[in-house]
Amino acid sequence: MATVTLSTSIQPRSPKGAFVNEPFVDFKNPENARDMQQALALVAAQLGREYDLVIGGHRIRTEGKIKSINPARPAQVVGIHQKAGAEHAEQAMQAALAAFQTWSRTSVGDRVSLLLGAAEIIRKRKLEFAAWLTYEVGKNWAEADADVAETIDFLEFYSREALRLAESTTPIQLPGERNQLLYVPLGVGAVIPPWNFPFAIMAGMTLASIVTGNTVVLKPSSDSPTIAAKFVDVLEEAGMPPGVVNFCPGSGATFGDAIVKHPKTRFVAFTGSKAVGLDIHEQAAKTQPGQIWIKRTILEMGGKDSIVVCADADLDAAADGIVAAAFGFSGQKCSACSRAIIEAPVYQILEEKIRERVAKLTIADPATNANMGPVINKSAIDSILGYIETGKKEGRLIAGGNAVANEDGGYFIEPTVIADVAPDAVISQEEIFGPVLALIKVENFEEGLAVANNTEYGLTGALYTNDRARLDHARLEFHVGNLYFNRKCTGAMVGAHPFGGFNMSGTDSKGGGPDYLLLFTQAKSVAEKL
């Protein structure tokens, strides 16, 4: 099989040394803060521009448009995007299939070179990309920087993992034979990312697909297509051939369904709500005329995450962790703490510590670097306020509970804490995806663990205790994909915390882990008699 070399000015690169996570920016440093303000000004001058579909390297405009807006200032248009319809699904598929013929035969070294080149580009413009996240989805500086850093981590980590996978061999070499185990690409994949990590998760699923030799139809969220367009620009600058990633914002009900159902779609990588994920899983399971494989689904679908606090815990550390995990990015993380489960002897003490910390949180336009910015859109604010009204009937409101009036019409909600909530209450069971925290009192650790396990989800969880026996018991019986001891349940780091959940939280795909790339390949055993 011939090897195809990238036609690019960027010279082939190889990872130097072991993987190291990209460091976060310290915005307490006045110089860094000034640089971020300059990046925000740079991006502000580019708001409102129009972006094309990119199919097979061709720029396409459509009659229908998608407007991406700033949720802190809904009158401010971040970007105008073409709206791909069902009719564009076939175009995108054909472009991806054509590109697959050469990209799948491109050397792993050259594919890795592209990722490392993209990492260099993003690293040099790190604060610029962070500024786009601030405007498009309302992330404050630290949250935006973490999103960009994770994107760089995925580029670097998956590069090393692709090289490692290419060196795989069989456990046994039979005498008289040459035995090989090859991990070959699947084909064309649909990548459907969420709006809440519109750079890192979008890039991570796309990068895992292409570094293993697949080609992609990328349908970003309609709330965050601009950062995805910027990412595709980076890949093109790094030397990506036409058709390897086809950029197609569009409706999930039209374009999204068409590409999921297409008989030539080999896999679907999705992060988002349980309802949409299950629908994708069901549609992908139906064999279409002309389909010759079982489609693979790689799904991450949210959580109802708990932090359990025992009476022997460091209560100040627990309060800090709970508040950070519940209200970082206004609770719009699938890993966010939405339930604090607290042993009775320290319940009132910890309730007060949480209330005091929440009272100090600032809420404002994230461009000013407040603790909390807006929720993503009007639909989200209506849904979250509805859950708060339900919660007021199910428990005792101790903080927040209201939308925040502002002259720009931004979608701001106060950080809300509701105490004395029953384990089976609506706000204890349903994913709210906003700044709402339920406090649940339990009599002991065993009851607390049972409550933590009582939802249909199983994504993240945390336990605060100094009791080794309890930690060891939770290690086995706290049923989540990402478990943390004596720290918050958000902030998974690539390489250290492979990320993915159990039950209705998804297929436990463990993004950022050593087995993630296997999901985008199939193993081929080759035996040659000598």
pLDDT, residue 179, reads 97
Query: What is d(CA 427, CA 435) in angstroms, rounded to the nearest whole number?
Result: 12
The one-letter code for the residue type at 244 is V
In tens digits, what is the pLDDT along the chain, a chain of 530 residues? Answer: 344 544 444 455 778 789 999 999 999 999 999 999 999 999 999 999 999 999 999 999 999 999 999 999 999 999 999 999 999 999 999 999 999 999 999 999 999 999 999 999 999 999 999 999 999 999 999 999 999 999 999 999 999 999 999 999 999 999 999 999 999 999 999 999 999 999 999 999 999 999 999 999 999 999 999 999 999 999 999 999 999 999 999 999 999 999 999 999 999 999 999 999 999 999 999 999 999 999 999 999 999 999 999 999 999 999 999 999 999 999 999 999 999 999 999 999 999 999 999 999 999 999 999 999 999 999 999 999 999 999 999 999 999 999 999 999 999 999 999 999 999 999 999 999 999 999 999 999 999 999 999 999 999 999 999 999 999 999 999 999 999 999 999 999 999 999 999 999 999 999 999 999 999 999 999 999 99
As to burial, measured by CB atoms within 10 angstroms (0-12 exposed, 13-18 middle, 19+ buried), residue 290 is: exposed
Beta strand segments in 83-201, E? 177-185, 188-192
Q: How many CA atoms, within 13 angstroms, populate the side-chain half-sphere of residue 399?
A: 23
Cα 455 to Cα 504: distance, rounded to the nearest angstrom? 9
Residue written as token pair 């995007």 = 81
Return the number of other C-beta atoms located less than 10 Å from residue 219's C-beta.
Answer: 28
- 10 Å CB burial of residue 517 (0-12, 13-18, 19+) is buried
Contact between 412 and 406 (Cβ < 8 Å):
yes
Q: How far is CA 27 from CA 35, 143, 389, in A?
A: 9, 11, 37
> Residue 12's pLDDT is what?
58
The DSSP H or E segment spanning 340 is strand 337-343
Q: Which of 136, 143, 161, 334 is catalytic?
A: 334
Cβ atoms of 295 and 266 within 8 Å: the answer is: yes
- Determine contact, residues 312/202, Cβ cutoff 8 Å: no
Say how far apart CA 371 and CA 28 lie, in whole Å.
14
Q: Which CATH number fits domain 30-301+509-529: 3.40.50.720, 3.40.605.10, 3.30.1330.30, 1.10.150.20?
A: 3.40.605.10
Q: What is the pTM of this model?
A: 0.96
The count of C-alpha atoms lying within 13 angstroms of the C-alpha of 239, restricted to the half-sphere facing its C-beta, is: 21
> β-strand 416-419 against 396-399: which pairing, if any?
antiparallel
128 is catalytic: no
- Calpha distance 260→86 (Å, rounded): 11
Separation of alpha carbons 139 and 376, rounded Å: 10
Q: How far apart are CA 425 and CA 369, in angstroms?
A: 34
CATH homologous superfamily of domain 305-493? Aldehyde Dehydrogenase; Chain A, domain 2 (3.40.309.10)
Which residue among 22, 150, 161, 300 is the active-site one? 300
What is the per-residue pLDDT for 16? 79
* Domain layout of the chain by residue ranges: 30-301+509-529, 305-493
pLDDT on residue 8: 44
Specify whether the backbone of 243 is left (phi greater than 0), alpha (psi in -120 to 50) or beta: left
Model pLDDT for residues 103-127, shown as the tens digit of each residue: 999 999 999 999 999 999 999 999 9
Per the annotation, the verdict on 248 as an active-site residue is no
**Chain CA centroid to CA 70, Å:** 20
Task: For residue 383, give every residue at least 6 positions away whose Cβ sits within 8 Å of its Cβ, in sequence order, or none.
Answer: 432, 433, 434
pLDDT at 1: 38
